[in-house]
Structure 1
Amino acid sequence: AGDKPVWATEVGVGSFGADEVQVFGLERTAQLLLGRVPNVYWYSLFDLPQAWGAETRHREAEGSSYYRHFHMGLIRADGSPKPALESYARVADRMGLMQWFHFEDPRLDDAVRIMQDLGVRKLRTGLSWADRFRPGALDWFDRQMEALAPFEVMVTYCFTPEHLGVEAHHTSCAREPQAFADFCAEMTERYAPARPARAAVRA
């Protein structure tokens, strides 16, 4: 074992089988990881609406695994809380949330309000390379990142544009890796610009 810290950036148990399974999974995860791992992020706050479809490579060909994607949240797509939300509330100040937001996601403001009410401090989310090619992409990214400013945000750069992938799907490797690197650099400079080093103090 090395001396590097381990971050659990996406842990979760869905309610696909039963709400009680999710409650047990959340409470057991908290028991095993909190206090041992410096950063833990529960996936996720909201269920994925069925009408949106899950961002997976093979979709329904994955069988029941595909449908589990729609039941990972602590809050149902209709806005009603699941029993596991109460369990999460007890550890929200120590266990972050991992929540993807779709382009112009109508849930963004509700998510911010709910997370603040819960006392969430840390959030993992994503900025989509594929979305960067949509009209108004930067306006949406700006709105998303401004809304999430109250939290300590860890951003994942994700989702290959179909026209730039080796294959035409979002999980494909990029045909032009430099183009992805340029996107990462653009987003980093926009939302986490380098801070000038503090000048040395002379006696």
Structure 2
Amino acid sequence: MHILGLTGSIGMGKSTTAGLFAELGVPVHSADEAVHALYCGPDAARVEARFPGVLKDGQIDRAALSKAVLASPQALRDLEAIVHPLVRQAEDAFLTKAREAGEPLVVLDIPLLFEAGRADDVDSILVVTAPLAVQEERVLQRPGMTAEKLRAILARQMPDSEKRRRADYVIDTASGLDAARHAVAALVAKLGVDPKRG
């Protein structure tokens, strides 16, 4: 089974690209979706215990949590110490299930793949990219996002140019959905999987 790591900086089109793999029947595990499930589940109480006041109506208020950790590197490390092991458990269960099903290819959608030292956990790496102006336009359209917040997020992420340099494959998402869909299908075929099997 070939494990393809999918990553890219904020606003580069990673989630959309993951969806294109799923359209072709390739199993995808999203770290972001695993975190979302955690924030709505029983483990949310562990986050609330460290950051009182962020649990509202049974789930973590991401805006409140973001406010609590953004200005403090230690707070962010504390959050990661709770979240990362739980996300890895979900990922391991996904990989076990895919192996048992005989899947030839799976995608691990990991936002901070390089930053978290995960490059050796996958067989190859796909980085999605877009020009800076496109990235900024996409991200600043998100609710509650500001230029200041974007700068803080980018400061914690490896530069896009370095991610592209380390990647095995790169897809530029600025050319539109059809071009990205074609690039994903070509990559799936290159990795030896019939892109129409799903």
- Which interval holds the TM-score relative to the shorter structure? 0.3 to 0.5
User: Radius of gyration: which is bigger?
Assistant: 1
Taking CA–CA contacts closer than 8 Å with sequence separation of 6 or more, which of the two structures ends up with the larger relative contact order?
Answer: 2
Higher helix share: 2
TM-score, scaled relative to structure 1: 0.32
